[in-house]
Amino acid sequence: MSDVSSAASRSRRHPGTKPRRAARLAGVLAVTVVGLATPAAAATHAPSPLTSGATVAGMDVSGHQGTVNWNSAWRRGARFSYVKATEGTGFRSPTFSSQYEGALRVGMLRGAYHFGRPDLSGAAEQARFFVANGGGWSPDGHTLPGALDIEYNPYGPDDCYGLSPAAMSDWIAEFSDTYRSLTDRFPAIYTTRHWWNTCTSANPDFAGNNPLWVARYGPRVGELPAGWGSHAIWQHDNRGTFPGDQNLFNGDMAALKRFATTAP
């Protein structure tokens, strides 16, 4: 079910996809996790031109990718994936279950993400909806912490969803705190440096708890959003070796497994 109410919104992009603005992502996206091991060992088929450090290659998908050939992605080197579960409080991805279980079936670590809609409802309500529809976490060794995708508004002209920086910071904090109360884990935050620094007025207060999944399309991660000193995941392109978006984890496979099992 779509949570998009207006005809203008429906004409943009169905919520089954992960709405992003490619032109803005070029040069502004990247990801960070505080406290993870720094790169050490050789990458698992990671794209060598992008980084000289040890990383683990991964991907993220949504309804836009439909049926994913997980065996092929595994053979090509993907070792983790994030899968879109929900958006707002009215949209559940119809492909979530098949994609989420498909990633696990071939041996990948996998997690779920929620596309935040601060313009539609409260953060606590959306966090509860996310957890109730596949976004939970448990220390089972193969489930990554849920992620809040908070970025440019694809449904209207105001990138910050009509919220002031203080109100946006409060919304994100409420989502984060509610998710933690339900799962015992803070969610990762997916964002870009430009969006974060604009729409939260460069709020540095989240870096201590929330792993950073940063998006920046280009050969380097670049400067991170305010507060974070390192990243957990870097989304470096929206096409490439794997279906969906292309990601690199900032650490070796042992660090990725720790990320799935324990909070940093």
Q: How far is CA 40 from CA 72, 103, 133, in A?
A: 26, 25, 36
Residue 149 a catalytic site member: yes
* Alpha carbon distance 65, 183 (integer Å): 28
Catalytic residue among 87, 149, 237, 245: 149
* Alpha carbon distance 86, 147 (integer Å): 11
Within a 13 Å sphere around the CA of 216, how many CA atoms are in the beta-carbon half?
Answer: 23
Catalytic residue among 3, 60, 87, 245: 60
Residue 252 a catalytic site member: no
User: Across the strands, what pairs with 147?
Assistant: 113, 188
**Residue 29 DSSP code:** B
* Alpha carbon distance 147, 55 (integer Å): 20
Residues in the chain: 264
Q: Which residue, among 107, 101, 51, 111, has the nearest Cα to 248 in the 3D structure?
A: 51
Residue 158 a catalytic site member: no
* Alpha carbon distance 136, 191 (integer Å): 20
SS3 category, 68: coil
Catalytic residue among 3, 101, 140, 151: 151
User: Across the strands, what pairs with 249?
Assistant: 56, 233
Handedness of CA 77, 185, 119, 30 (dihedral sign): negative
* Alpha carbon distance 264, 260 (integer Å): 10
**Catalytic annotation, residues:** 60, 149, 151
